[in-house]
Amino acid sequence: MKKLLLMGMLLAMASGMHAENLLKASDIEVKPGEEGTIEIEMVNTDPICAFEFLLTLPTGLSIPTYINDDDEEVLNVVLSRGKSKHTLEIAEQSTAGVYKLLSYSSSNQTFKENSGTIVTIKVKASSDFTGGTATISGIALTDNSSPANEFNPSDVTINITSTAGINEISAEKPATVYDLKGNQIRKNATSVEGLAKGVYIINNKKVIVK
């Protein structure tokens, strides 16, 4: 009997060691002035019914809004798993670029499946965005047991790169290159080759040279 109890305890411990409940996301690329998509995936061994976390975006990146079916302006964030049974709340914090996301079920319904995208977030880059790092922190995943268990996996880092605006200027239309202070850097330019890294004004548009 003692041997059976010991084996049971060891099996339970081994099972707990292999339990995996976490969030993850892939790196993305967003061009200046354009939109991109961050897909956050949840991988869970336990039956998860709620989650919350903080999303911190780099300077120059924000979550755009859209008008929903109730004619309300809301942030462009979509719940991908369990959308019919779960409520999704998102609020921008007092610190710019920081958003708190919370999803839960009033009847403790669990998210379907054990992997896949849980949240899709649209992001918009400013015209002078040069890239940066987004972080998902303060993660809390809650199961449907009573009392509930909370899992706090490690923070997630998302590298966001940005491509240069242009490499060449049309030879038929040479342009004057200015810095952001309005100083003339190059006249009758047909290329950005040789310019130092930075942001310039060319043809009344901000151009990033890397």
- Provide the 8-state DSSP code for 34: -
**4-42 pLDDT per residue, tens:** 444 555 444 444 444 699 999 999 999 888 999 999 999
Q: What is the mean pLDDT of residues 77-105?
A: 92
How many CA atoms within 13 Å lie on the side-chain side of 28?
A: 23
pLDDT for residue 166: 53
pLDDT for residue 11: 47
For residue 97, is it left (φ>0), alpha (ψ between -120 and 50) or beta?
left
Is 16 in a helix, a strand, or coil? Answer: helix
Instruction: Write down the architecture of domain 19-161 according to CATH.
Output: Sandwich (2.60)
pLDDT for residue 201: 87
pLDDT for residue 128: 83
Q: Where are the domains of the chain?
A: 19-161, 175-209
Q: What is the mean pLDDT of residues 37-59?
A: 97
